[in-house]
Amino acid sequence: MFPSYFEGLAQVQLEGLAAGLPLSHGSLGCFGLDYGWHEGYIIPVGDAEALRDALQRFIAAPNDLVLMSTAARLAAERHSWDAYGDRWMNLLRQVS
């Protein structure tokens, strides 16, 4: 759970995904992190009711949590340091 007002993409978010933890974050968070509802929930910033609802969904649907955990791990792999470097190299090749 990372309901931050200020973080764009924090390392702790990627570490959580790599550990297979579904990610729930504010809609201003996760700048540059492409993932869908399969890896967690997007919660409107400052919406305590939506945060509560997401937590209740995690508790009420343990089977969904298992699927989200697998999807979270795969999302982290797409954002490894190697993948990050590859994206930068591709960008540099395009502009040179």
Give a yes or no: residue 5 inside a domain.
no
Q: Does residue 2 form part of some domain?
A: no
Distances (CA, A) of 68 to 9, 19, 80: 19, 12, 18
Q: Is 22 exposed, middle or buried (0-12, 13-18, 19+ CB in 10 A)?
A: buried
Q: What domain range is 71 assigned to?
A: 11-95
In a domain, 54, yes or no: yes
pLDDT at position 95 is: 93
Domains of the chain: total: 1
The answer to whether position 19 is within a domain reads yes
Is there a contact between 25 and 42 (Cβ–Cβ < 8 Å)? yes
Full-model pTM: 0.60
Is 73 inside a domain boundary? Answer: yes
Digitized pLDDT (tens) for each residue of the chain, 96 residues in all: 555 666 656 677 778 888 888 776 665 444 455 555 677 777 777 788 988 888 898 889 888 888 888 888 888 888 788 888 898 899 999 998
